[in-house]
Amino acid sequence: MRRQHLVPIAGAACGLVLFAWAVRGVGVEPILETVRRVRWGIVAIIALGGARFAVRAQCWRWCLLPGVPLDFRHAFAAFLAGDAVGNVTPLGMLASEPTKVLLTRHHLATLDSVASLALENILYTISVLAMLAFGLALMLATVPLSSAIRWTTVGGLAVIGVLATAVVAALRTPVANGATQASRWRSRVVRLRTEVSRFALEHPARMARVFALQLGFHALAVLETFLTLEWLMGARTPTLTQAVLFETVNRLTVVLFKFIPFRIGIDEATSGAAASLFAVTAAAGVALAVVRKARQLFWTGIGLLLIARHPADRP
């Protein structure tokens, strides 16, 4: 257990160092002055964050077989709680997904819950890859990059293409009956994959609807970034391209550093470093990450409250 905690602890320590480096490079006062421009706009930012949770909760409900009920209220609460656990622990999805299963155990059979969550996460992963591919391609087309960054970006696009193809192929490949009985754990995995693959093959219209809604999740994230930049940049007006590029960097950071609780320092350092590439001041870049962190802390607090009161719930 100590070895398992070593990586996230080291990551958190590095994150604190990065945070100090990012703040020192820009200055505390310029960052605070920029953040103050948001004022009551934080309400809209928090609301957009909640809307994204609502989108994924609805996607989860649509990943259930027709006739399997899960009301929106319980799905939404489970997503908030799961995200909160994923944020405060270094386990990420290994903690967040079981939390969702636990909080809906009175409303869903375990197999239905696990299979639908697995399918929702697969479709979400494909949507993330699509978002990253679009953002990286846009960066290649609009941002003057050094040769090293340009070729790294091209390599990233190639990797995304391979991953997306592999995920789609695996999703559409039926699992043969009696694939394995080697162990109880492996048989459960095969059974889960069978359920997910069967749903994908039998309900393509639902799959398309869920994927379209997942893309809406990313559109809401871009809108949040655009509005935040609008407040942070003062007299200057951000472009939609800048919002997409910042959200691409943010999504890539989330994917790579989910194991670090709250990605302490990582968000601020990457956003601040990317700001100069996207023609935005470093103070605005760091402040963008700080405002996002405030929104994340708010919804994490709500999720932890839901977990705290859950033992008193009854079906």
- In this prediction, residue 253 carries a pLDDT of 92
pLDDT at 235 over 90: no
pLDDT at 93 over 80: no
- In this prediction, residue 313 carries a pLDDT of 47
Q: For the residues 79-107, what does the mean pLDDT come to? A: 85
CB 136 within 8 A of CB 156: yes
User: What is the distance between the alpha carbons of residues 259 and 87, in angstroms, rounded to a whole number?
Assistant: 8
pLDDT band at 66 (very low <50, low <70, confident <90, very high): confident
Side-chain half-sphere of 111: how many Cα atoms within 13 Å? 11
pLDDT at 178 over 60: no
In this structure, of 2-6, 30-34, 48-52, 92-96, the range with the lowest mean pLDDT score is: 2-6
pLDDT exceeding 70 applies to what percent of the chain?
86
Q: How far is CA 224 from the centre of its chain?
A: 14
Q: What is the pLDDT of residues 248-262, one digit of tens each?
A: 999 999 988 887 888
Tokens of 48: 């957009």
User: For residues 265, 270, 272 and 278, what is the CA-based torsion angle, rounded to 10 degrees?
Assistant: -160
Tokens of 243: 């919002």
Q: What is the pLDDT of residues 191-223, one digit of tens each?
A: 667 777 777 777 888 889 999 999 999 999 999
pLDDT at 130 over 90: yes
- In this prediction, residue 188 carries a pLDDT of 63
pLDDT exceeding 90 applies to what percent of the chain?
45
pLDDT at 17 over 80: no
pLDDT at 183 over 80: no
- In this prediction, residue 8 carries a pLDDT of 62
User: What is the distance between the alpha carbons of residues 215 and 123, in angstroms, rounded to a whole number?
Assistant: 10
pLDDT at 312 over 60: no
CB 64 within 8 A of CB 42: no
Q: What is the mean pLDDT of the chain?
A: 85
Q: For the residues 136-160, what does the mean pLDDT come to? A: 93
Domain spans in the chain, listed from the N-terminal domain onward = 41-312
